[in-house]
Amino acid sequence: MSKVAGRVLEPTGVIGQERASSRDWVKQAAIVISASLFVAICAHITVPLPFTPVPLTLQNFGVLAVGLLLGSKRGFAALALYLMEGASGLPVFSPAALGSGVSHLFGLTGGFLLAYPLVAFVAGWIYEHTSRRFGWAVLSATVAEVVLFAGGLSWLAVLTHSIGLAIRYGLYWFVFAEIIKIFMAAGVAARWSKQTSR
């Protein structure tokens, strides 16, 4: 094949850019969908607690990890997709919590669920604007957890008509586990950043 023919057949210019753009879009969509399914798997690793209607799950770890690993925009998209999957009736929410589909979003854990896209956005935004070290990942995840519990406890307070009950049901029993989840998510994110920067 001549050089001229080769140049003619090469996917250059607008067509080449469109193909590259299309491939990139498919790749990003696959990443976002996979991240939403990862959170769904984490939601099914759950321990019901007898003294609170809010179950202990690995779900929050999944949300933090997605936000830190994918960044603010893709993290937000993945968790928004996750909520749409759950609202449509797909079994992606924790089976230990009451309700299903849209009703699940307005149940006792609804405030936590609805905060997830913002939580992933906050974790991702802080981390992508820092040095990508473990300490920054911990700080990013911690700030995101504050956002998560602000949303979750506020909704619990509305449903129970009591701030005290909301704190008792949604905070006391989870502090230690959430600290572990923060460090786990931060460790995964920092290790990934270190591996990809080599």
Question: Which residues are CB-contacts of 100 (< 8 A; sequence separation ≥ 6)?
Answer: 89, 93
pLDDT of residue 4: 46
Residues 43-81 have pLDDT tens digits of 999 888 888 888 889 999 999 999 999 999 999 999 999
Question: Which residues are CB-contacts of 136 (< 8 A; sequence separation ≥ 6)?
Answer: 126, 127, 130
**Chain Cα centroid distance, residue 55:** 18
Give the largest Cα separation in the chain, rounded.
79
* pLDDT < 50 stretches in the chain: 1-2, 4-10
pLDDT of residue 14: 57
pLDDT of residue 77: 98
pLDDT of residue 194: 85
- Please give the class, per CATH, of domain 3-196: mainly alpha
Return the domain boundaries, the chain.
Answer: 3-196
**Helices 134-160 and 163-170 meet at what angle, rounded to 10?**
130
**Using an 8 Å Cβ cutoff, are 142 and 151 in contact?**
no
